[in-house]
Amino acid sequence: MAFSNELRTTFQQELSNIQQAGIFKEERIIHAPQSSEIDVVFPAGSEKKHVLNLCANNYLGLSSHPEVVKAAHEGLDSRGYGMSSVRFICGTQDIHKELERKLTKFLGTEDTILFPSCMDANAGVFEAILTEQDIMIADRLVHASIVDGMRLCKAQQDTFKHSDMDHLEKKLQLHQDKRSRMIITDGAFSMDGDLARMDKIVELAEKYNSMVFIDDSHASGFIGKTGRGTHEHFGVVGKIDVITTTLGKALGGASGGCVSGRKEIVELCRQKARPYLFSNTIPPVVVAAANKVLDIITSTTERRDKLEKNTQFWRKGLTEAGFIIKEGETPIVPVMLFNAKLSQDFSKDLYYEGIYVVGFFFPVVPKGQARIRTQLSAAHEMHQLQKALKAFIKIGKKYDILHKTKEEIIEKYGL
């Protein structure tokens, strides 16, 4: 037998190490469509609970929106279920091109190419355009999919301290001898909910002759006055050379991603990007629904405006109640608890209060920075957020962490 008992023991040992380290991940099973309220069974085998959902990336509340579901049905009827092909062989329909055009217009770029996911977009784009003579300079907190994409690319690599513009400038000076430079960053960072300083980054890119790349997965659809993303927020639309983003968060939440930007870069991706060439097309049903999503969000800013209101209410409410949150303006609102076990106990108690959130701790966030990451949605109604706030305050009192300093919380619970 090739899968020997010895091998099995090795794998079992690794799994039990993960368990002992307290970082074993368990799926939480949802018995309902993705929404502001969901039915969850967790832990496995327990009773189904109806809870308020504060941990989805469903920022615009479009994941189960009736118009989006209807468009998906129509897409299924008019363009079928599967394409059974990659894009360049026989996997491109009129609706795929339509979606690329709509994304280009929405993001304010020159051209767009769809990928099966944003993970694939990031896996393909660097290798398709950069060589050994080029340098990629990335923020140290970029998303894992960017790290992987950079690994697949032969260009040289360097990093700058998170959002540290002086450090980035030093690195740009250091790498003036390379053929080209590319500054690489997330637009909105998913763990802290902060925005990259795109105005500064573009300024430095112009000063030091560098391209700019952003992954706007946690921003596309709602950051900026009309929801176009981080570049809109900072007034630098048209100045970003490469934007990658996902359809799997605010933009309907199903799946799919894209590279959008300078037309030559996008064309090189069509010629060379491996996930585009060797992985299947986004299915017609998803494309049809995504087209509808783009129609909805370009016809009105109502949903992103509501999200902004919800976010302001939530940030203000938590702060006034005496929680320590990561300041910012995005709908990603981390409630800092510092201690890993406290973050787990706190989220469990909230679950029994009917509030569904997840505690994050090392290695997902740095040691001693455990937190509950809450995420707002345009699908949330004010009465739901009021209920959630009440529950947070009740559990906050139970653990006696309200109106306490970071040091006081750490002294009580340790790191």
Ligand X SMILES: *Cc1c(COP(=O)(O)O)cnc(C)c1O
What angle, 0 to 180 degrees and rounded to 10, lies between the N-to-C axes of helices 165-174 and 198-207? Answer: 20
**Whole-angstrom distance, CA of residue 131 vs CA of residue 134:** 5
Reply yes or no on whether 260 is catalytic: no
Stretch that binds ligand X, among 15-23, 71-79, 116-124, 338-346 (CB under 6 A): 116-124
Tokens of 137: 């300079």
Of 87 and 143, nearer to ligand X (C-beta) is 143
The radius of gyration computed from the CA coordinates of the chain, to the nearest angstrom, equals 22
Residue 238 CB partners (closer than 8 Å, separation 6+): 108, 109
Tokens of 195: 């925005």
Tokens of 118: 């944003």
Q: Does 118 bind ligand X (CB under 6 A)?
A: yes
Catalytic residue (choose from 102, 175, 218, 231) = 218
Catalytic residue (choose from 178, 233, 249, 380) = 249
Name the minimum Å distance from CB 302 to ligand X.
Answer: 24
Which member of 104, 145, 260, 384 binds ligand X (CB under 6 A)?
Answer: 145
Name the minimum Å distance from CB 226 to ligand X.
Answer: 21
Of 276 and 338, nearer to ligand X (C-beta) is 276
Name the minimum Å distance from CB 65 to ligand X.
Answer: 19
Q: DSSP letter string over 236-250?
A: -TT--SEEEEESSSS
Of 201 and 350, nearer to ligand X (C-beta) is 201
Reply yes or no on whether 31 is catalytic: no
Stretch that binds ligand X, among 103-111, 147-155, 159-167, 213-221 (CB under 6 A): 213-221
Q: How many helices (H) and strands (E) does the chain have?
A: 16, 14
Of 257 and 261, nearer to ligand X (C-beta) is 257
Tokens of 201: 């980054």
| CA separation, residue 231 to residues 121, 163, 171, 199, 403 (Å) | 19, 15, 22, 8, 36
Of 145 and 281, nearer to ligand X (C-beta) is 145
Torsional class of 160: left (φ above 0), alpha (ψ -120 to 50), beta (otherwise): beta
**Whole-angstrom distance, CA of residue 141 vs CA of residue 146:** 10
Stretch that binds ligand X, among 25-33, 212-220, 332-340, 343-351 (CB under 6 A): 212-220
**Whole-angstrom distance, CA of residue 137 vs CA of residue 204:** 12
Name the minimum Å distance from CB 120 to ligand X.
Answer: 7
Q: Does 190 bind ligand X (CB under 6 A)?
A: yes
Stretch that binds ligand X, among 10-18, 104-112, 210-218, 372-380 (CB under 6 A): 210-218
Q: According to CB under 6 A, which residues from 242 to 261 bind ligand X?
A: 246, 248, 257
Q: Kindly report the backbone phi and psi dihedral angles of residue 351, in degrees, each rounded to the nearest multiple of 5, phi listed first.
A: -60, -40
Reply yes or no on whether 218 is catalytic: yes
Q: Does 117 bind ligand X (CB under 6 A)?
A: yes
Q: Does 217 bind ligand X (CB under 6 A)?
A: yes
β-strands 181-186, 211-215 pairing: parallel
H-helix or E-strand spanning residue 19: helix 5-20
Of 145 and 159, nearer to ligand X (C-beta) is 145
β-strands 111-115, 257-261 pairing: antiparallel
Catalytic residue (choose from 190, 210, 217, 377) = 190
Tell me the catalytic residues.
Answer: 190, 218, 249
Point out which residues bind ligand X (CB under 6 A): 117-119, 143, 145, 186, 190, 215, 217-218, 246, 248, 257
